[in-house]
Chain A
Amino acid sequence: MNPIVLSPGDIAIAASLVAFDAILSIILKLNLHRQVLWAAARMVVQLIAIGYLLRLVFALHNPAATVAVVAIMAVVAAREIAVRPERRFKGADGMILSATGVAIATFVTVALALLTALRPHPWYEARYAISLAGIVLGSVLNSGSLALDTLLTSISRERPSIEAQLGLGESFTAATRTLVRQAIRRGLMPIVNQMSAAGVITLPGIMTGQILAGLDPLEAVKYQILLMFLLAGASGLSAAVIASLALRRLTDDRQRLRLDRLR
């Protein structure tokens, strides 16, 4: 089965829908037409740029180029995680621990899929590695960011009760255990929702894309199931690693609560 190849004309027809949004905005005075058009233009430029970049990297067959592309994506994700919380670490700590969590979660799950399920030759083939990393990073970002934000907010808020426990000789781990649990739970919520909704409320994008491209629905479903499992693992790893590293940074060798390390 051959995928249906889109011509520029096909896309131009779909673009008229964006024009419709803009006209709607003008008629209803939503004052959004500029933003809609600008966002649409940005989206087109960004995607075409990434398309050319991917084509270039795929053609290079150079592991270093693949690693570089994935590393840049991971750094951007780590930065998002580190700056999102309202209370965040002073200096580079937040960035370092987010990057560690992102790197571990992404590498473990992507490598697992490439080495066991997909098995391209070579296993680090850019076409597969970059695409998978791109999908996984979305979940890693989401769960890591939720877990970190929840943890830092709740630990700042619960300072009196944490210090009351420390003051009575409780260990830092015991005094913060419930808060860490809540943070990791929170990080896992999106993927749990995504899995429960898949196929009933939503048709996941990857699967839909493959079906549109001509793949048999059952084959597409198998891919989607594999991806969901990867995303679940990546979310768990990201939330757990980032929450534990953040927790370690919030204490010291005397098991004090070091909120002075936050701003």
Chain B
Amino acid sequence: MPDTTDPNAAGLLVRHLQSPLAGPFDFAVAAGGCAVISGPSGSGKSLFLRMIADLDPNDGEVRLNGTERRSLDGPAWRLRVPYVPAEAGWWLDAVADHFAPANREAARRLAADFGLVEGQFDAPVARLSTGERQRLAIIRALVLDSAALLLDEPTSALDTEDAMRVEAALQARLAQGCVIVMVSHDAGQAARLRAEPYRMVERKLQRVVLAEARA
């Protein structure tokens, strides 16, 4: 269990995080650590990630590697903890245009790693399948090289092979000290990423004890 009291500890620290809709949450993930949250739909999993990213009005302390989010403006904070929703939106016609020119090379390499063929990176978004869009949406966050990632069901539309490819990239990020908090219904995924399992029940977060996780 990571230290939840030292505000300067490396990693993500969440204290008394609450909104009229959910919480309070107290939560910590050490640098290089992963937390996987499961739970019934509507239990508040996405709300929790959105609150950490500061996309919904909320109160409480959130620190990443010692930096309190209020010391940064909203966009600067979210650049450090990008949030990828389960069905991420697209705002331009071509996939490639969603990446800053400086990031396109890195994005192309990741797309290849994720099993996307070369042409798909330059294709119109409308021509891609749900699974292709899902992988590209994760790449949009990965190219930011952030110290944390908030992923909402990142592999829900992927077959096992593609899910493994994404997990491999996430594992590489974890090895570099990145914090990952993700929502996933795949119990095997939590085990493969050596993640701390959590369960969201009626907008409260519970740590899953190992015996229960194994069962």
Binding site for B on A (CB under 8 A): 158-172, 175, 178, 252-258, 260
Would you give the shortest CB distance from B150 to chain A, in whole angstroms?
Answer: 8
- A164 and B144 in contact, given A169-B79, A254-B74, A256-B55 (Cβ under 8 angstroms): no
Instruction: With A169-B75, A169-B79 given, name 5 new contacts (CB 8 A).
Output: A158-B89, A163-B55, A164-B89, A169-B80, A255-B75
- Do residues A256 and B56 form an inter-chain contact, with CB atoms below 8 A? yes
Of B56, B78, B89, the contact of A169 (CB 8 Å cutoff)? B78
* A–B Cβ pairs within 8 angstroms, 22 of them: A158-B89, A160-B87, A162-B89, A164-B88, A164-B90, A164-B91, A164-B140, A166-B55, A166-B75, A167-B55, A168-B79, A168-B83, A168-B140, A168-B144, A169-B80, A172-B75, A175-B91, A254-B54, A255-B73, A255-B74, A255-B75, A256-B55
Query: When the two chains form their complex, are residues A163 and B89 in contact, meaning their CB atoms are under 8 A apart?
Result: yes
Report Cα–Cα, A172/B75, bound state, in Å.
8
State whether A165 touches B54 (Cβ < 8 A). Answer: no
- Say whether, besides A254-B74, A257-B55, A161 and B141 are in contact (CB < 8 Å): no
Give B143-184 interface residues, CB cut-off 8 Å to A: 144, 150
Closest chain-A Cβ to B94's Cβ sits at a distance in Å of: 14
Whole-angstrom distance between the Cβ of B11 and the nearest chain A Cβ: 20
Contact B144 A163 (CB under 8 A): no
* Count of B interface residues, CB-CB < 8 Å: 27
CA separation between A163 and B140, bound complex, in Å? 13
Q: State whether A168 touches B141 (Cβ < 8 A).
A: yes
- The residues in B between 31 and 79 inclusive whose CB is less than 8 angstroms from any CB of A are 53-57, 73-79
Closest to A260 in B: B57
A155–B128 Cα distance when bound, in Å, is 24
Do the beta carbons of A160 and B78 come within 8 Å of each other?
Answer: no
- In the complex formed, the residue of B with least CB distance to A175 is B91
Using Cβ atoms and an 8 Å threshold, which residues of chain A touch B56? 256
Residues of chain B lying within 8 A (CB to CB) of residue A160: 85, 87-89
